[in-house]
Amino acid sequence: MADRLVCRECHRVQDSDISEEDACQACGSTSLTEDWAGYVVIAHPEKSEIASEMEVTEPGRYALKVR
């Protein structure tokens, strides 16, 4: 899982077929990195305290720490 790219803006874990030159599939940012740690899957952001703390409004896979 460490070879996956993560968006520095929204912390969304990107699909494996995306490269660092591409844009985030969720927010459109072009700031992607392989330097991240921790992983959380948010299924119901409206009911999740973690989603609220991370300011996540869409279900998906997110990195907890992005450098």
Q: Averaged over 22-29, what is the pLDDT?
A: 94
Domain of 25? 6-66
**DSSP code at position 17:** T
Q: Averaged over 19-33, what is the pLDDT?
A: 92
As a whole number of angstroms, the distance between CA 60 and CA 62 comes to 6
User: Residue 33 has which token pair?
Assistant: 């990195």
Q: Is 14 annotated as a binding residue?
A: no
Q: What is the pLDDT of residue 1?
A: 55
Q: Is 7 annotated as a binding residue?
A: yes
The pLDDT-based confidence of 15 (bands split at 50, 70, 90) is confident
The pLDDT-based confidence of 2 (bands split at 50, 70, 90) is low
Q: Is 61 annotated as a binding residue?
A: no
Query: Does 46 fall in a domain?
Result: yes
The pLDDT-based confidence of 17 (bands split at 50, 70, 90) is confident
Question: How many domains would you assign to the chain?
Answer: 1
* CATH code for the domain of 16: 2.20.28.90
Q: Is 55 annotated as a binding residue?
A: no
The pLDDT-based confidence of 47 (bands split at 50, 70, 90) is very high
Query: Does 1 fall in a domain?
Result: no
Cα-based distances in Å from 2 to 38, 44, 53, 63: 10, 24, 23, 11
User: Residue 8 has which token pair?
Assistant: 């520095």
